[in-house]
Amino acid sequence: MLDSLDKCIIKKLQEDIPIVEEPYGLLAAELGIEEDELITRIKSYHESGILKRIAAVIYHRQAGFKANAMVVWKVPEASVEEAGNYMGSLSEVSHCYERKICENWEYNLFTMIHGKDKEQCENIIENISNKIGIKDYKILYSTREFKKSSMKYFK
């Protein structure tokens, strides 16, 4: 169970971490705790699975990745785990989710692929398709971005 300090730490970690020589020291000072305690708690969040990672957020469009393809795949139930694990291991795939199929929508595996252009995305998708042996998929390209932000769990 998270205590009030844990929630305060997580609030800090969901924001931009300052670009300074000792960012954890600065965050710890803002929280009124020692840096060692902050680092110990962050490690415990990671070990317990509460925290997956601390990473930089790249704004892919500004970095030159103009094509953003959500690919929906129709994967037989018996192959979903193997296909999902394979796709999820690829650096070209930023997101990979299994979703329930619906009456009018039989695609159950969703991936997000970013490329410099549509041709690059389609080459990646074709390689994935050939590797996993799934030919029933659709490519849904982004046309406009309305929001891009990380989830805020504690406000």
Q: What is the pLDDT of residue 36?
A: 97
Q: What is the pLDDT of residue 4?
A: 95
pLDDT tens string, the chain, 155 residues long: the values are: 899 999 999 999 998 888 899 999 999 999 999 999 999 999 999 999 999 888 877 777 777 778 899 999 999 999 999 999 999 999 999 899 999 999 999 999 999 999 999 999 999 999 999 999 999 999 999 888 887 777 788 88
Q: What is the pLDDT of residue 153?
A: 82
List the domains of the chain with CATH numbers: 4-48 (1.10.10.2890), 67-141 (3.30.70.3460)
Q: What is the pTM of this model?
A: 0.70
Q: What is the pLDDT of residue 44?
A: 96
- What does the DSSP assignment read for 4-54? HHHHHHHHHHTSPPP-SS-HHHHHHHHHTS-HHHHHHHHHHHHHHTS----
Helices (H), 52-110: 80-89
Q: What is the pLDDT of residue 141?
A: 95
At residue 104, φ and ψ (nearest 5 deg) are -110, 15
